[in-house]
Amino acid sequence: MQSIRKYHFPIFLFLIFISTRIYAQDRLNGRTFSTRSSVMAQHGMACTSQPLATQAAIDVLKKGGTAVDAAIAANAVLGVTEPEMNGIGGDLFAIVYDAKTKKLYGLNASGRSPYSLTLEEFKKRGLDFVPVDGPLSVSVPGCVDGWFTLHNKFGKLPVKDLLQYAILYARNGFVVADETAYYWNLLENKLRKYPNTASVYLPGGKPLNRGEIFKNPDLANSLEKIANGGRDAFYKGDIAKAIDVYMKKNGGYLTTKDLADHTSTWVEPVSTTYRGYRVWEIPPNGQGIAALEMLNILEGFDFSKIQYGSPEHVHLFVEAKKLAYEDRAKYYADMEFAKVPVEQLISKKYADERRKLIKMDRASDSFTAGDAPLAHGETIYMTVADDEGNMVSLIQSNSAAFGSGMAPDGLGFVLQNRGTLFNLSTGMNNTYMPHKRPFHTIIPSFVTKDDKPFMSFGVMGGGFQPLGHVEILMNMIDFGMNEQEAGDAPRIDHQGSSEPTGKTKNGVGTIYLESGFPIATIRRLTELGHNVGTQAPGNFGGYQCIRFDPVHKIYFGASDPRKDGMAAGY
């Protein structure tokens, strides 16, 4: 008996130890995939993909700034600390909820193509698609004008004060975070292509690594000119002249006239309902209405009987995406140049017809765009809310990582390559024309409930963004997750739909699933005829969110663990 106890007692202790270790590694509540709790605060909230930007926003709110003031400060910091993703060489979109008027305002601050670059020039060069980087891909940067347009309507503190945080980090340096360092090293060859770009982003001849200090005095000088001279310092002053000179030297077409003629546009956000919630997006030239089309299609299925992560969930989600993205390829474009049937595309009646094309027992590879009569992979997303109830949903991007790869002399930032999303085929809605806005991937979103603000959110990630929007909403509305869990949950991506650039679809396409989906789901999807990728492409987006509780007047903030950022409140 003693010998049995002698051997059983250590085993007993070992089992207790293992049990303790297992339980200690789990959260006390929430889903198994939860990474952290939501952040909760009464007076304000900021959620961005970089802690320094979040802190800048909170500091502005504490000084009495509005949500828009804080968003401008944070966005400027992100342009310094995440230069691969965004900056003053890129574009901006925003949805603002104004507590005084109890209304949503949409801003399209995307730039247009150069006057002097024509479709014929692309044809002379034998190009079927706009190059992914270099001078032909550059369009007018809309970010800075977007800041001042937002500030003129909703700002309180001087823009000069708001830009000081970014100027400080650009001049004195900041510590490079994980994701930024990853992209910096991944794209070293792109940064070496143009000497100016290499001199800015490869100090000492090499990319920055995690934990190293990066300074960008040229960008600090550019931001100081904007802080002191306003938006005209960028579009009509020394910065515009430097861009013009650089583009002429490097085979580009962007000129001082293109910059001087740039304007942002206030637009009415468009919406649909999903199970009692109203979801708002910016109308084209962006892709936001693809999310609305998907939601309308999916609303016709009873997800109270479908589990998250089940084959039925993934199958229906992907088939709805295929339908919406065929319309995206055919119709979405600059509405000053093309007739886009927005009301028809986001109508419930249209969704009812499109939904009939989905088969529960097989994947489709033959969807085409619907008949909507024409009668009449880089980005940051951030959101801020203030003590008065104002909320801003803001997204800003260089397009691809480090944009066109071109950094004009002495300015410290790269120009975006958004022009690469034009179609070079004649007669299409998104066909290239001078002084036209290209199709755009970056989309902010907003949700209301009973005509009150419910949630400001977005999911960065190129063409993935409408999928990300729908996944977040389904996770919360259909599957009962909170705002943080909705972003933590494993995501679904599908690639292979037709593109607005004119690239054709790739048959049934490929589903990519983040780790966490059951093997049984993957097996069943293949039985239905889906291709399920064995290696993810690494782009499942980056999510930030603020939810508002109107009863207790509380903000709930969530930030994506896939990024370097955080949510913070006060």
Q: Which residues participate in catalysis according to the annotation?
A: 379
> Could you tell me the CA-to-CA distances from 54 to 394, 402, 469, 559 in Å, in that order?
13, 22, 22, 11
The answer to whether the beta carbons of residues 231 and 147 sit under 8 Å apart is yes
568 CB burial (10 A radius; 0-12, 13-18, 19+): buried
Q: Give the whole-angstrom CA distance, residue 297 versus residue 317.
A: 9
Task: Reduce the secondary structure of 239-258 to three states and give it as a string.
Answer: HHHHHHHHHHHCCCCCCHHH
- Dist. CA 559–CA 46, nearest whole Å: 10
Phi and psi at 94, nearest 5°, equal -150, 150
Residues in the chain: 570
CB-based contacts of 512-518 (< 8 A; 24+ apart in sequence): 512/536, 512/537, 512/540, 513/314, 514/490, 514/540, 515/490, 516/33, 516/309, 516/489, 516/490, 517/309, 517/314, 517/490, 518/309
- Cα 263 to Cα 148, 444, 487: the distances in Å are 11, 19, 34
156: tokens are: 């309180």
